[in-house]
Structure 1
């Protein structure tokens, strides 16, 4: 009975606290906001792999004009060192696409990865404590449809 109570209390705490992994900080890559628009998706709670904690999964299905950077309407406070997992694909394969975070406080983008071959997948280490939104940039000369997810 005591073990069952301990498990129940642990689950309640996991549902109310957001705990995520820490990783070493990559080279800081910040860019001033340029052609940007706001785009949103829904979030839901999700347990990721075998890590302890409650994470949110943010699915995207964004149409991004050529030369524009999109960021989600959802915003979240994250501390330096927290990580955001991502897996983003797009079509058509028009050119370079990048993935990162948008700092709501400064209006700057923090780009993690850029490539012309989908998917982009990996983890972003939050460079400093702030309020963030998820971002995808289209560096090509064609409109693309970006789909996938972020987990934070």
Structure 2
């Protein structure tokens, strides 16, 4: 045998092996391509269905264990009572001495009226001398 006849016999054998290998891969590649196409289509459907929610939530941040670092100032009144109004908005900067809450004055007017009535009664009982003992 000479070299040309050996080369001719090998070429068809190698081509046949490659062709069989390609046939075997073609079935797997078809399945892989179908699977990838289905996944891409599912992704597109989800993006179209929930895309507005995904885009809207991109600028929102949520957490279960957050800490806030801020300047906090405790505010306390000298008297207790029910708040009638709050003339400042949330997170508004306030200055020292600015009114931040108005307390209902009904209770204090009633106490003042009762104290004035007690004083008038004591002055009347004392005879108008101007010296009264408050018990």
Query: After TM superposition, is the score higher than 0.5?
Result: no
Structure in which a larger fraction of residues adopt helix: 2
Whose strand fraction is larger, Structure 1's or Structure 2's?
1
Task: Give the TM-score taking structure 2 as reference length.
Answer: 0.21
TM-score, scaled to structure 1:
0.19
Identify the structure with bigger relative contact order (alpha carbons < 8 Å, sequence gap 6+): 1
